[in-house]
Amino acid sequence: MKTDKPDKDKSKINMEELVSYCKRRGFVFQASEIYGGIAGFWDYGPYGVELINNLKRAWWKTFVYQNPNIFGLDSAIIQSPKLWEASGHVAGFVDPMIDCKECKHRFRADHVVEEWIEKVEKEQNAPALPTYSESLDVLNEYLDSFKKEISCPNCGKFGTFTSARQFNMMLTTHVGPAEDDTTLTYLRPETAGGIYTNYENVRETTRAKIPFGIAQVGKAFRNEITPRDFVFRTRELEQMEMQYFIQPDVREEEYAKWREFTWNFLLDVIGLSKENISWHEHGEDEKAHYAAAAHDVYYNFPHGRKELCGIHDRTDHDLTSHMKVSGRDLSYFDEASAKRFTPNIIESSMGVGRLFVAVLTEAYIEEEVGDETRVVLKLKSELAPVKVAILPLSKKPELSKVAKEVFASVAGEYNVEYDETQSIGKRYRRQDEIGTPYCVTVDFESIDDQAVTVRDRDSMKQERIKIVELKSYLADKLNLVVR
């Protein structure tokens, strides 16, 4: 894979700080932490799961609800092994792997070479390096030619790598009481497979005509050689994918349309900045053999400019492959032109974990307020894990009673948090760090004037609002419909 160089303007938070922040504030925990963890797997905490769900909901609303000809699907994680044979995953879903003969650690060969190239290119008077590709021959040529310069990332020794070889990333399991070749199957490596095999079912039951799309959000599994960079590259991941079925002669215009649509989603709905995202077009050595075109959106992550999501012109490859293996006719007869054809596919594919990291990186701000540094997560209110926090000024029963009544009056439409522990200043700072747009303070005056103080996260300005008007006030601020 061709890797773009990171921007000169580095992210405002590095990966180590991000991981620490996510643990401290309840966004992400290491899976099986009490047993020492397990590489490549993460658990989303109370605020992480809310943010993840809000991201998925925003994607679904934008891609499905705002398009009359896109329909949802939730296909099974375990499918027939023949599906993955037809798609080419059984034979070709591989990554190049090397072992260090000294420390016995295993690495992705392309990552080791790419990181060494980036390091060399940053050095002054660096020698010109030959063009890199995913070819095993080229990888082995690098590892051999520069064996005195490319060290093991774990033990630091030189010249200790084995030759690169291919490693299949499909995670296997068995279905049924026996464990033999007849019961072998796979955890899906992508969600798209279930979309292709349900293309005909969705088309017939919805009475859809070409063009139309099928969208799915779901888990996928990849036995990564070296999972790394927090939730960016994991063995259990979640994808948001939309496959758009079209006539062959409109591929270019549909491809351009979905590129623009995806770009606008990232900017307008998610709130990423133009300065942090860019297009990366796949060269001929990067594209899959069946792809007519492929573009990735790159984001300036804490660990460099990396792939966030992708748009691919998959031609008629997928349905043609499944027709050959299954024997089912998945072609389409167009009544207007009286022609039969195999639909082509434009794909928009996005990893939830990567979008999660991008959103946190984008929203994380450290600003000076008086003599202290305020950490604030300036998320769009639609994405914020907690929309409103109810904060009684003290734990006294008469105040708690009013505060709980206020909580009950606004809870149910969105996530509202009730917090009466620590000083009000510390509670404000805590809510700032998790991105809560509005804090509602219930003080002793609230008992008499039946009003509360609403504090805005970004400006920190405060406004006195009558309790009876609070629900509609917050709904207006959060762009919600009051029921």
pLDDT band of residue 194 (cuts 50, 70, 90) is: very high
Q: How many residues does the chain have?
A: 483
pLDDT at 127: 52
**Is the separation of the CB atoms in 308 and 293 below 8 Å?**
no
In 146-211, which residue ranges form alpha helices assigned H by DSSP? 192-197, 199-206
**Is the separation of the CB atoms in 465 and 451 below 8 Å?**
yes
* C-alpha to C-alpha distances, 189 to 31, 186, 220, 295, 314, nearest whole angstrom: 20, 8, 5, 20, 17
More confident residue, 332 or 177: 332
Q: Is the dihedral of CA 78, 79, 83, 85 positive or negative?
A: positive
Count of C-beta atoms within a 10 Å radius of residue 325: 13
**Is the separation of the CB atoms in 281 and 295 below 8 Å?**
yes
Mean pLDDT of 357-361: 98
Q: How do residues 83-123 score in pLDDT, each as one tens digit? A: 999 998 887 777 788 889 888 888 888 888 888 887 877 77
Which residues are paired to 394 by β-bridges?
A: none
Distance CA 131, CA 142 (A): 10
List of domains in the chain: 15-93+170-361 (3.30.930.10), 97-168 (3.30.40), 386-477 (3.40.50.800)
Reported for 231-234, long-range contacts at CB under 8 A and 24+ positions apart, including other chains, are 231/28, 231/42, 231/353, 231/354, 231/356, 231/357, 232/301, 232/303, 232/306, 232/353, 232/354, 232/357, 233/40, 234/40, 234/41, 234/42, 234/353
E-strand stretches of 7-73: 28-30, 42-44, 70-73
pLDDT at 129: 52
Give phi and psi for 315, each to the nearest 5: 50, -145
Give phi and psi for 21, each to the nearest 5: -60, -45
pLDDT at 2: 38
The mean pLDDT value of the chain amounts to: 91
Does 328 score more than 80 pLDDT?
A: yes
Torsion angle of C-alpha atoms 78, 230, 233, 415, degrees rounded to 10:
50
Indicate left, alpha or beta for 67 from its phi (over 0: left) and psi (-120 to 50: alpha): beta
Mean pLDDT of 348-373: 95
Mean pLDDT of 227-247: 95
pLDDT at 290: 85
Q: Tell me the range of 133-137, 179-183, 368-372, 457-461 where mean pLDDT is highest.
A: 457-461
pLDDT band of residue 1 (cuts 50, 70, 90) is: very low
Query: C-alpha 172: how far from its chain's center?
Result: 24
More confident residue, 219 or 10: 219
More confident residue, 201 or 106: 201
Q: Is the dihedral of CA 354, 355, 356, 360 positive or negative?
A: positive
Integer distance in angstroms from the first to the last C-alpha of the chain? Answer: 51
More confident residue, 440 or 97: 440
Reported for 107-112, long-range contacts at CB under 8 A and 24+ positions apart, including other chains, are 107/152, 107/153, 107/225, 107/226, 108/224, 108/225, 108/226, 109/139, 109/143, 109/161, 109/164, 110/1, 110/134, 110/139, 111/226, 112/143, 112/150, 112/153, 112/161
**Is the separation of the CB atoms in 447 and 405 below 8 Å?**
no
Distance CA 387, CA 159 (A): 54
Q: In the block, which residue shows the tokens 């658990």?
A: 43
Closest CA to 224 of 354, 111, 342, 350: 111
pLDDT at 8: 35
pLDDT at 382: 96
Lowest mean pLDDT among 64-78, 137-151, 209-223, 459-473: 137-151
Q: How do residues 291-306 score in pLDDT, each as one tens digit? A: 999 999 999 999 999 9
Give phi and psi for 443, each to the nearest 5: -115, -175
Mean pLDDT of 208-230: 93
pLDDT above 70 covers what percent of the chain?
Answer: 94
Distance CA 394, CA 401 (A): 11
Does 317 score more than 60 pLDDT?
A: yes
Count of C-beta atoms within a 10 Å radius of residue 138: 18
Q: Mapping DSSP to helix (H, G, I), strand (E, B) and coil, where does residue 417 land?
A: strand
Counting beta carbons within 10 angstroms of the beta carbon of residue 429, is it exposed (0 to 12), middle (13 to 18) or buried (19 or more)? middle
H/E stretch holding 20 = helix 15-24
pTM: 0.86
More confident residue, 4 or 413: 413
Distance CA 65, CA 285 (A): 37
Count of C-beta atoms within a 10 Å radius of residue 242: 28
H/E stretch holding 456 = strand 451-456
